[in-house]
Amino acid sequence: MKLLRYGPAGSEKPGLRHDDGTIRDLSAHVADIGGEVLTGAGQDMLRALDADSLPVVDGDPRLGPCVAGVGKIIAIGLNYADHAAEAGMEVPPEPVIFFKATSAICGPNDDVIIPRGSEKTDWEVELGVVIGKPASYVDEADAMDHVAGYCVVNDVSERAFQIERAGQWVKGKSADTFAPMGPWLVTRDEVPEPQNLKMWLDVDGHRYQDGSTATMVYGVRHLVSYLSQFMSLQPGDVISTGTPPGVGMGQSPQVYLRPGQEMRLGIEGLGEQRQLTRAWDG
């Protein structure tokens, strides 16, 4: 299934993307796409519905972030060896963990706002892993049982805030609109091999990132197990698993986003995003 949320920001309704390409409304069956809906029982209930009989959503509505009520965004740094190399950093002996504020979440095609004072706003296409079953101290062999599905995440980053100023990475990762998520949550049964998905990102039509989840240092199974040793994972939590090379910081000379540009990005089987950049206006 491809589960989504559509409508004005803050008033999104639950839906799914039908095989015929239409959006079908799920409002009569679930309140939103999050929490218990992401569990095995919740997904089974949705699969039992006759998708052909669900109401068709007319027009071309805005798509919201594909998961509601995200408890935490756990992001993984330097998780692609070639990206670590372009950043001039060593591949870490264990996953590097940081958080993005949930207030950074926005729809997959919403504008990305360049923060006040920013000179180094950057892009990062990433595989998002959505948790569907509580996980604590999970073995790798059982880790995938706790995954509801996958989505595209753009881990937008302000590099000066992240690296050049004292403190942790979170303040360079958490500005409003710095976590476009979607267009939809693709359930785990439709992605049998998450470690072999092509991924890409363009800025103004120029291909900067052209990689694959096959080059992850720490794969999905390991990350779910690893993170569950330090914190419980709950339905609706999102793990943003790192980015391949091609970020602006890695260019020579470095390239960063300016107002009025267009980002397009996607992951094989998970859909595409499109964002326009604009300056913070208060």
Q: Is the peptide bond before 259 cis (omega within 30 degrees of 0)?
A: no
Tell me the whole-structure pTM to 2 decimals: 0.96
**Residue 92 has what pLDDT?**
87
- Give the neighbor-by-neighbor strand order of the sheet with 2-6: 23-25, 13-17, 2-6, 185-187, 147-154, 125-131, 238-240, 73-77, 96-100
Residue type, 179: A
CB-count exposure of residue 155 (10 Å: 0-12, 13-18, 19+): buried
CA distance 169 to 249: 15
Q: What is the dihedral of CA 69, 72, 73, 74, to 10 degrees?
A: -150
pLDDT in tens, 11-34: 999 999 999 999 999 999 999 999
Within 8 A by CB and 6+ apart from 198, the residues are 211, 212, 267, 268
- The pLDDT tens digits along the chain (282 residues) read 999 999 999 999 999 999 999 999 999 999 999 999 999 999 999 999 999 999 999 999 999 999 999 999 999 998 998 777 777 778 889 999 999 999 999 999 999 999 999 999 999 999 999 999 999 999 999 999 999 999 999 999 999 999 999 888 999 999 999 999 999 999 999 999 999 999 999 999 999 999 999 999 999 999 999 999 999 999 999 999 999 999 999 999 999 999 999 999 999 999 999 999 999 998
By C-alpha distance, which of 152, 158, 150 is closest to 277?
158
**Residue 60 has what pLDDT?**
95
**Residue 75 has what pLDDT?**
98
User: Tokens at residue 67, please?
Assistant: 């998961």
Domains annotated for the chain, with CATH where assigned, are: 2-53 (no CATH), 73-279 (3.90.850.10)
- Other beta carbons within 10 Å of 214: 15
CA distance 157 to 166: 16
Within 8 A by CB and 6+ apart from 148, the residues are 38, 39, 43, 130, 131, 132, 133, 185, 187, 188, 235
CA distance 73 to 244: 19
DSSP 27: T
φ, ψ of residue 248 to 5 degrees: the values are -60, -35
pLDDT in tens, 55-90: 999 999 999 999 999 999 999 998 998 777 777 778
**Residue 282 has what pLDDT?**
80
**Residue 167 has what pLDDT?**
85
**Residue 91 has what pLDDT?**
83
Q: What is the DSSP string of 140-193?
A: GGGGGGGEEEEEEEE--EEHIIIIISSS-GGGGT-STT-EEB-S-EEEGGG-S-
**Residue 87 has what pLDDT?**
75
Within 8 A by CB and 6+ apart from 22, the residues are 56, 57
Do 224 and 64 form a contact (C-beta atoms < 8 A)? Answer: no
